[in-house]
């Protein structure tokens, strides 16, 4: 059975800390892995990863995929209170079929 | 403004009633999706449609039905056969690029409560 597991389930840090969120997967016919940020309602897209070892960066956020060990990490440096959200990992297996992890709830304290 | 709209934002329904959730996109995306989100369970795929007049069941399609008569619209009907319909419903759309990669964009969601 296909599955996506995110860890930790929740995390509380102080502003300025660096956090690493994990996403491991076991799926048939892997196509891509995506990260989303969900603050209140609609998840917003962060990164899509298809190749191992290539880091994607956007400001203080970065992500990398390891297709051999079947995991991805999302790093956030110099965290801010605005980073507080649920971070979702999703894997596209086959065509157009996505499976999501349960998410990591991040709270950044001022 | 390009985007995905869902209506209504909140919906209350009595047990035994069917209800239809609206999803419209003006992004010219071919593919559209419906997900259900419950606390602690992430998003689960209900139905998806790759193209007009075609759709496939996702992981939890029982008790739901969809139609895709127009490219812009993908309504979801929650039928009385759905045993536990209270949840947050998210619609998404996507379009494959020339590298055949696909990024989904989400609507704001509809929170359905069955009384």
**B59 vs A contacts (CB less than 8 Å):** 99
* Residues A40-80 pLDDT 10s: 778 999 999 988 888 999 999 999 999 999 999 999 999 99
A110 has pLDDT over 70 = yes
Say whether A14 sits in a helix, a strand or coil: strand
A98 and B44 in contact by Cβ < 8 A? Answer: no
Nearest CA in chain B to A49: B101
Structure tokens of B28? 């010219």
H/E element holding A49?
strand A44-49
B102 has pLDDT over 90 = no
B1 has pLDDT over 70 = no
What is the least distance, in Å, from the CA of B87 to any CA of chain A?
Answer: 12
Q: Which residues of A54-79 are buried (b: 16+ CB within 10 A; e: fewer)?
A: eebeeeebebbbeeeeebbbbebeeb
A90 and B43 in contact by Cβ < 8 A? Answer: yes
pLDDT band at A27 (very low <50, low <70, confident <90, very high): very high
B98 has pLDDT over 60 = no
pLDDT score for A29: 87
The DSSP 8-state label assigned to residue B70 in this structure reads B
pLDDT band at B64 (very low <50, low <70, confident <90, very high): very high
pLDDT score for A21: 98
pLDDT score for B48: 94
């Amino acid at each position: 059975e296909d599955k996506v597991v995110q860890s930790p389930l929740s995390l509380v840090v102080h502003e300025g800390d660096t956090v690493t969120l994990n996403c491991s997967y076991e799926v048939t016919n892997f196509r891509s892995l995506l990260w989303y940020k969900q603050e209140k309602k609609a998840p917003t897209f962060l990164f899509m990863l298809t190749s191992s070892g290539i880091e994607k960066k956007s400001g203080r956020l970065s992500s990398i995929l390891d297709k051999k060990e079947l995991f991805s990490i999302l790093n956030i440096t110099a965290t801010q209170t605005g980073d507080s959200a649920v971070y979702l990992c999703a894997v596209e297996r086959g065509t157009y079929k996505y499976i999501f992890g349960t998410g990591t709830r991040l709270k950044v304290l001022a | 403004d390009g985007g995905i709209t869902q209506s209504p934002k909140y919906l209350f329904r009595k047990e035994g009633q069917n209800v239809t959730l609206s999803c419209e996109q003006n992004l010219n995306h071919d593919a559209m999706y419906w997900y259900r989100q419950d606390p602690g369970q992430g998003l689960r795929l209900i139905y998806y449609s790759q193209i007009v007049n075609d759709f496939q069941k996702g992981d939890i399609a029982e008790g739901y039905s969809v139609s895709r008569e127009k490219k812009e619209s993908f309504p979801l009907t929650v039928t009385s056969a759905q045993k536990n319909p209270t949840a947050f419903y998210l619609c998404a759309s996507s379009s494959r690029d020339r590298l055949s990669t696909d990024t989904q964009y989400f609507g704001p969601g509809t929170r359905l409560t069955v009384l």
